[in-house]
Amino acid sequence: MGQEQRLGRRTVLGAAALSAGAAVLGTTGTAQAAGRFRPSGLPVPAVIGHRGASGYRPEHTFGSYDLALDMGADIVEQDLVATKDGHLICRHENDITATTDVADHPEFADRRTTKSVDGEEHTGWFTEDFTLAEIKKLRATERIPGQRQQNTLYNGRWTVPTFEEVIQWAHREGKKRGRPVWLHAETKHPSYFRKLGLGLEERLARLLRKYGLHRRNSPVFLQSFEPSSIQRLSKLVGTPGVVLLWTADSQPWDFTEAGDPRTVADLVTPEGLDWIAGYARGIGPLLDLIIPKGPDGQLGEPTTLVPDAHDRGLVLHPYTMRNENSFLPAEFRRGDNPNDYGDAFGAYRMYYETGIDGIFSDNPDTARLAAEDFRRSRG
């Protein structure tokens, strides 16, 4: 999950398209949720380790997950894709060219191919062409070495985890730390995998039921950029679902495939939030949907998305905060080097003041300190 999420884009059509779009997916507008969803035991704002502590370790490794907890993350995120033999593994994308050492394995050279994923062509190596045993021969690497050269020190140190291994890890860590370790699991490209006969939702639901994490009060959030994936999961398990939202003019890929005219701009209207509240417990919006940036890159006035979502019982877990200048609003950048740290604390304060329930961060230690500062300021 993050700003690298690739989604098909369409022209913003407005809220008038909502009822027609809902009919395409076989749903209608639904009643508002009865009371705001308040996950038991989570502080507000909660710190969500984005793919672990990916600002310091290669993402989606146990090195990254462990460090996120050590740095104070309340929740740790996993992106889920499938292997050829149907196992759920933790990778940002099914294209593992940039996140593993697969290119260094001559025995897999002939697996390199070009595929269309959610309307975009990609050339590389893809998880659905590998068995789990083959995936376990690979080692994780830093995805953006140009920006995080220091993370490359840990290239090759960890294997690619399965989601079942992560569930077991969370249980062990929870017992050790005396508190539940929450997970935030995202189905990646679910329509794509379903066409391959590798439906992510059924596999995920089986694992959740196996480990007793299928209930409304389970310490797991299920998230997706495709609303139909959360709808499907809501019929399989009680685990709370979160609909992820990209830019206002973007469109979820399942909407594109279904001929649904709605865009994210439609989903963040009161009518759109009513519809989401019928099957989900929260939304995960891009931070720009909460406080838009102006042409100069500086933050403008907050939208009404936070109170509108709260009025419908939805929690808000926006994404993604990072310490580097290149990711910060212009007024919080310091110096000319895009990879240097800026005034991340100032940016956190602005976002926390909107009333969000948590935030995804590559730097859980910074997010945690900022959250503690914010709570103290509120008495």
- Number of residues assigned to the chain: 379
Reduced DSSP (H G I as helix, E B as strand, rest coil) percent helix, strand, coil of the chain, to 5: 35, 15, 45
Angle in degrees, CA 210, 211, 217, rounded to 5 = 120
**Per-residue model confidence (pLDDT) at position 216:** 96
Q: Which amino acid is at 121?
A: E
Q: What is the pLDDT of residues 287-334, one digit of tens each?
A: 999 999 999 999 999 999 999 999 999 999 999 999 999 999 999 999
**Is pLDDT at 173 greater than 90 in this prediction?**
yes
Q: Side chain identity at 159, as an amino acid letter?
A: T
SS3 346: helix
pLDDT at position 1, please? 59
Q: Give residue for tokens 């800026």.
A: 342
pTM, entire model: 0.92
Looking at residue 32, its pLDDT comes to 38
Cα separation of 209 and 224, whole Å? 19
Instruction: State the greatest distance between any 2 C-alpha atoms of the chain, in Å, as a whole number.
Output: 60
> Mean pLDDT for the chain?
92
pLDDT, tens digit (0-9, with 9 covering 90-100), for 16-34: 333 333 333 433 333 334 4
Percent of the chain with pLDDT over 90: 89
pLDDT tens for residues 31-57? 334 477 888 889 999 999 999 999 999
- Which residue carries 């003041």 as its tokens? 353
Question: pLDDT by residue (tens digit) across 344-361?
Answer: 999 999 999 999 999 999
Radius of gyration of the chain (CA): 20
**pLDDT (0 to 100) of residue 20:** 35
Tell me the domains of the chain and their CATH numbers.
15-82+183-377 (3.20.20.190)
340: left (phi over 0), alpha (psi -120 to 50) or beta: beta
* Average confidence (pLDDT) over 197-212: 98
Could you give phi then psi for residue 152, rounded to 5 degrees?
Answer: -65, -15
For residue 376, pLDDT over 70 is answered with yes
What pLDDT does 39 receive?
86
CB 71 within 8 A of CB 365: yes
C-alpha to C-alpha distance for 182 and 77, rounded to whole angstroms: 9
Segment 49-85, tens digit of pLDDT: 999 999 999 999 999 999 999 999 999 999 999 999 9
In DSSP terms, 76 is beta-bridged to: 49, 183
Contacts of residue 285, defined as CB under 8 A and 6 or more positions apart, other chains included, come to 244, 245, 268, 305, 316, 318, 319
Q: Which pair of tokens denotes residue 107?
A: 């025995």
- Percent of the chain past pLDDT 70, that is, above it, reads 91
For the chain, counts of helices (H) and of strands (E):
13, 11
Give 136-160 pLDDT, tens digit per residue. Answer: 999 999 999 999 999 999 999 999 9
